Structure 1
Amino acid sequence: MGFKRVTRCRLLHAVLLAFNALAIPSLSIMSGGSKSPFAKNENASALLLVASQKTLPVMVAVVEQLGGALGESGLLVLPCVAAHLNQIIIDSFLVSLWKQKKGEFGNAKAA
């Protein structure tokens, strides 16, 4: 992977993180303020992680670079979308596990 591609990938990741970091508090305000589920730190962290996934845009860029060598680009993107959805689901489970572990550590500190 060339330097320009790596730089673009890092830039994309930074833009997604920045956009989502700004959008989540706005979403929290619009959906009930301090009573919003997005006002909780663990929910905001989970949403930031899941919403900042950059695999789908990167996969689509790779498919486009193939120039139809392996088939129609539109059809090749479908498994990419499915893989991205799977990654979001797995990340959601990971965040749930992190939340449980954090709760266990918090209970151990309190005791």
Structure 2
Amino acid sequence: MFCPECKSEFIEGIIKCPECNVELIDELPEEPAAVFVAYKEALATYNPADIAFLKSVLDSEGIQYFFKGEHFMYVRPLADPARLMIRIDQFEEATQILKDIKLSFMGINLGNQNMDH
């Protein structure tokens, strides 16, 4: 017998989970398989203001992204830029949104060389 909430297993005869206070079930449902999502680098920047601006633009458009190395740049500024990684199935849409954006003098646009590949 299993608790559907905490997934604990109990011996026969127990019908209710003492922790969750719910009735037990015979078997737990199968967990959904993990889904792999690929990301592609669009650009890089050393400037936290660029990052904040890009986040607001991408969030407003529903683009899934993350900045690789964003927190490292606060520890060692100018050692490595933060790299904007965009979900591969949204990459074309995102690059169209970002194509006319001018980053600060600290920005490095890597997207032009990656967009065609």
| TM-score scaled by length of structure 1 | 0.22
Could you say which structure has the higher helix fraction?
1
Could you say which structure has the higher strand fraction?
2
Higher Cα Rg, which structure: 2
| TM-score scaled by length of structure 2 | 0.22
